[in-house]
Amino acid sequence: MRKTLAELLAELERFGKRNDRAAKDVSRCMLNITRETGELFFVLARAVNAKDILEIGTSNGYSTLWWTEAARASEGMVTTVEVSDWKISLAEKNFRRAGLFRYIRQVRGDGGLVLKKRKAASFDVVFLDSFKDSYVGWWPEVKRVLRPGGLLVADNTLTHAGEMAGFMKLVERSREFVSADVPVGNGELVAVKARG
Ligand SMILES: C[S@@+](CC[C@H](N)C(=O)[O-])C[C@H]1O[C@@H](n2cnc3c(N)ncnc32)[C@H](O)[C@@H]1O
């Protein structure tokens, strides 16, 4: 990995931990994926040669940087959606510092509305990392926007097992997907859509 990006990721890991320990309100927390999770995402995205990645829940862009570094290798783009203006501007600074800004579309708003507006089969990867109570309602759109052979990834299967249970059931019971609950970091749901 490029030295500048490796240094920025390490800095963001320190910042995230310090910030979240001190934060008085969850809306001020970064709630980033772990470093090992980022490494897993990088490999997954490269494995499916991901060119179009959708992330819902940008925060300050730590996970986005991992997805984007992988997408960049195939001249791809990451679309990342966030509701907090404060976090959108923190993320933008990090994307510029990483030299990855031109590979990222930042969208302000609700991930569910963004999903509805996208064409069928328009993403190679969909990564869900926002408030978990929306995922069950988003499921039909998540399935629709993923291309055959595309990957669905969702964070927090270990740390938010209760909140994730309904969604996990839907994915596990779907005939269209094969899935695994990977005990890395906060726990990652990784599912592949059938090739048709
Ligand atoms: C767990 S954090 C994301 C962490 C980030 N993926 C990372 O690992 O660096 C969740 C983020 O989702 C945002 N969020 C919550 N609900 C959302 C929604 N419906 N659409 C888009 N973003 C949302 C929150 O503001 C918060 O910044």
Q: Which residues contact 179 (CB under 8 A, 6 or more apart)?
A: 152, 171, 172, 189, 190, 191, 192
3-state secondary structure of 109: coil
pLDDT for 54-67, tens place per residue?
A: 999 999 999 999 99
Domain definitions of the chain by residue range: 3-193
> 189 alpha carbon to ligand 1 midpoint, in Å?
16
Beta bridge partners of 53: 78, 125
| Pocket probe mutation, ligand 1, options 14, 20, 59, 163, max atoms within 8 Å of Cβ | 59
- Residue 196, pLDDT > 80, answer no
Which pLDDT band holds residue 106 (cuts at 50, 70, 90)? very high
3-193: CATH topology is: Rossmann fold (3.40.50)
Q: What is the mean pLDDT of residues 93-107?
A: 97
What percentage of the chain carries pLDDT values higher than 90?
95
pLDDT in the model for residue 9: 97
pLDDT for 136-192, tens place per residue?
A: 999 999 999 999 999 999 999 999 999 999 999 999 999 999 999 999 999 999 999
Q: Is the dihedral of CA 164, 116, 42, 9 positive or negative?
A: negative
Buried/exposed 25-49: b ≥16 CB within 10 Å, e otherwise: eeeebbbbbbeebbebbbebbeebe
Q: What is the mean pLDDT of residues 103-132?
A: 97
The ligand 1 atom at the shortest distance from the C-alpha of residue 127 is 6
pLDDT in the model for residue 4: 87
- CA-closest candidate to residue 38, choices 9, 73, 60: 9
- CA-closest candidate to residue 127, choices 14, 12, 50: 50
Kindly state the helix (H) or strand (E) to which residue 78 belongs, with its residue range: strand 77-82
Q: What is the mean pLDDT of residues 78-91?
A: 98
Across the chain, what does the average pLDDT equal?
Answer: 96
- Residue 112, pLDDT > 90, answer yes
Ligand 1 binding residues, C-beta < 6 A: 31-33, 56-57, 59, 62-63, 81-84, 87, 110-111, 129-131, 134
Q: How many residues does the chain have?
A: 196
The ligand 1 atom at the shortest distance from the C-alpha of residue 134 is 19
Q: DSSP assignment, residue 1? A: -
